Every structure is written in structure tokens, then in C-alpha cells.
Amino acid sequence: MAKAPSPGRVKTRLVPPLSPDEAMALSGCFLQDVTANIAQAARDAPIDPYVAFAPAGGEALLHPVIAPGTRLILADGSPAMPDRVERFGRSLLHAARGLFALGYGAVGLLNSDSPTLPTALLVEAARALAAPGDRVVLGPADDGGYYLLAIKAPHAALFRDIDWSTERVAAQTRARAAELGLELVTLPSWYDVDDAGSLHALLDELDGAGRRGVFYGAPATARWLAHHDIRSRLAPTARRA
């Protein structure tokens, strides 16, 4: 799930310490790494990589920053949607419906804000979906949202009445899965990089000072952060506990 990188439209909570142009560049690095990570996972699991994007017409901005072999599908939430599916939920359901319409038996909706997500978690999600029976695979984020929601059918209820961009998203999604009687597979938690505190955590991780253990190396992101000496511009108070 991605916005086409353009100044003032992506990673806005990182402005400051970054400028709008720098936030755009970092967003592009995230997309390079996330799509490369998916391609790596596809060597060990049956995964076809897509970027579900918005706004319409953003293809030219995305092609230079996604891994070769990654296809694009529009997910701007513009089609008619069920009642009470709002905001980001519309884009998620649009992406899911579009991919199921192409004939896929399962769809994983992954954020573009976790460039160091361990590849093994993507493989684990794909293998969980491959098992018989309907289920939901949830990758919860540290902030109460989720980095991944993987499904075997486009259940609109999973996106209905969700308080998007709050710490209640993952809990509400679990509740919707329970209401549908769906088996829920929960992956280990990870973090989104969307503010100065999580950017500091990313720098620590890439420098070997993080506490997560094995992670994807995110080479494009690591090179950009080092080249622009971003650590020197983060206040000590920006560090996330």
C-alpha cells in the first residue's frame, strides 16, 4: 500500500526534521526496500508482488523506485464501497477486491512504512494463507495499528467502523475477525516509521543498536540516511522508548 512519492504528500509527520523533498526521497527509499524485501520473500513462498497505489496517475513516480517485477494496481478507494468503510479502509478494500478480481486466492496488504520488516514474516504470512480454510493473518504494529493484513476473501467487515490512524486499529480488526468467525493468525509485532521517534529507532536498528534481532537490511534506506547524516539532525528527545 503506497502513495506515489511527491513533496508534501508523503511522510508528512517527518517534516520536520526532514524537508518535504527529503521526506519524498526517504519514502522512495522505503518503497525500494519494501518491494525488494517482498521479492526476496517470493523466493521462498508463492508471492506475486504488487504496489497498490494512489493517487491515480502516479505510475510514473513509482516505476523508478520499485523492485523489478513489481506490478501496479490502483487503490485510491474511488469505487462504491459498503457503508461504514471509510478513509484508509476504502483504499485497503479497493486493493483487496482488485487483486481477488485478478484470480488470486489470497491477498496480503502490507504497509510501505516498515523497511526493515524481517523477510521471514512475509514468508510466514504467505504460508499461513496457503493452508486450507478461511483465516486472517494480522501483523500488529507497535503503535496499535498493523503492518500487514492478509486475507483469503475480501471481507468488507474487516474494514468497517475502524478508527484509522489510531492505536485502536489492530484491536478493532481482531474484533471484526472474531465477529466473522474467522481464524486469526497473529505475527510478531513490528514498527512503522512515521515520526521522529520511529525514525530514531530505525537509525538505531540499522546501526546495530536496536533490540529487534534479525531484520531486513533496507540498503536503499540505510544509504540515504547515512549520506544525509540524518542522525545528527534528530534531537535526543526524539528517541522512542
Parallel/antiparallel/unpaired status of strands 183-186 and 146-151? unpaired
The bridge status of strand 107-110 relative to strand 135-140 is unpaired
Q: What is the pLDDT of residue 188?
A: 97
Which three cell numbers mark 50? 504488487
Inform me whether the pLDDT recorded for 238 exceeds 60: no
Is the pLDDT at 240 greater than 80, yes or no? no
Taking CA atoms, 49 is separated from 19, 66, 110, 128, in Å, by: 30, 10, 11, 17
Q: Are 1 and 98 in contact (CB under 8 A)?
A: no
Share of the chain above pLDDT 70, in %: 95
Is the confidence at residue 71, as pLDDT, over 70? yes
Q: DSSP states of 89-146 as a string?
A: HHHHHHHHHHHHHTT-S-EEEE-SS-TT--HHHHHHHHHHHHSSS-EEEEEEBTTSSE
Question: Of residues 78 and 237, which shows the higher confidence score?
Answer: 78
Cβ(22)–Cβ(46) below 8 Å: no
Average the pLDDT over 67-85 and give the result.
97
Return the amino acid letter for 162: I
Q: Which three cell numbers stand for residue 137?
A: 493473518
- Map out the domains of the chain as residue ranges: 2-238
Cα–Cα distance between 78 and 75 in angstroms, integer? 8
Q: What is the pLDDT of residue 233?
A: 86
**What percentage of the chain carries pLDDT values higher than 90?**
93
User: What's the CATH code, domain 2-238?
Assistant: 3.90.550.10
Beta bridge partners of 3: 54
- Type of residue numbered 122: L
How many residues would you count in the chain? Answer: 241
At 67, list the grid cell: 523492485
pTM: predicted TM-score of the whole model, two decimal places: 0.94
Q: What is the pLDDT of residues 11-68, one digit of tens each?
A: 999 999 999 999 999 999 999 999 999 999 999 999 999 999 999 999 999 999 999 9
pLDDT tens sequence across 130-168: 999 999 999 999 999 999 999 999 999 999 999 999 999
